[in-house]
Amino acid sequence: MSTLEIKDLHVSIETDQGTKDILKGVSLTINSGEIHAIMGPNGSGKSTLASTIAGHPRYEVTKGEILLDGEDVLEMGPDERAQAGLFLAMQYPVEVPGVTMTNFLRTAKTAIDGEAPKLRTWTKEVKQAMETLRIDADFANRNVNEGFSGGEKKRVEILQLELFKPKFAVLDETDSGLDIDALRVVSEGVNRAHQENNMGTLLITHYTRILNYIKPSFVHVFVDGKVAEQGGPELADELEANGYDRFLASAAASV
């Protein structure tokens, strides 16, 4: 079993107005096979946590630790984090002109595993994964995300997830911009990776609709850069019914 530990994490960024503190002491522990949902209002630090785990250079860790099986993630570059078993599905996947999907997927898989996959079995695996995610076969020869719709980009993120087989996946608002059919397909892909690889998942979302398909073991409410409350799936139901007012009021009162 693997463990991803986030201990008393403080993160800031530089803005035109000076240094801004975003995360203010976040602690979470995720084990293999667990699904943790992070919910919260805009600006609460959810995506900052995702980017910090992945190693985005804009975010400065001023205090705390991120440990993967006891190893210091903060000492690793983004590529080393991927090789160690971390995966980020981005909220806004970027286009990569001049790089075909086929070349990107095989190059990334080779970098992560340290050796190139056998071509015959790899080609079969990619084809099967694309079919299951309802990605047109022609996309294999197109440049990464170039001209793709929002839903197509999100399916390609989950294609990578299934092919790269990480220990832990951070899904940053993977449900945003998806219609109901695309949401179902993407969710099924996440569930397959979870079941087949015992993957741990950190699922960041504003809405409970994706939680109808991807069932969390734990729900954490982010407010003002902190975990305001945590519980089981019933906490997401409370948020759906009542919103974040209770947590926002508590955060304002503590200032």
Task: Choose the weakest-confidence range: 31-40, 80-89, 173-182, 191-200.
Answer: 173-182
Distance CA(6)–CA(3), nearest Å, equals 10
Domain for residue 252, yes or no? no
Q: Which domain holds residue 33?
A: 3-241
* Cα 128 from chain centroid (whole Å): 23
Domain for residue 193, yes or no? yes
Domain for residue 16, yes or no? yes
Q: What is the pLDDT of residues 125-184, one digit of tens each?
A: 999 999 999 999 999 999 999 999 888 999 999 999 999 999 999 999 998 888 899 999
Flag whether the pTM goes above 0.85: yes
Domain for residue 251, yes or no? no
Tokens encoding 197: 């690889």
Domain for residue 255, yes or no? no
Domain for residue 68, yes or no? yes
Distance CA(136)–CA(154), nearest Å, equals 14
Domain for residue 250, yes or no? no
CB 74 within 8 A of CB 80: no
Domain for residue 143, yes or no? yes
The dihedral built from the CA positions of residue 47, 44, 173 and 68, taken in this order, carries a sign that is: positive
**CATH, residue 22:** 3.40.50.300
Please count the structural domains in the chain: 1
Residue 240 has what pLDDT?
85
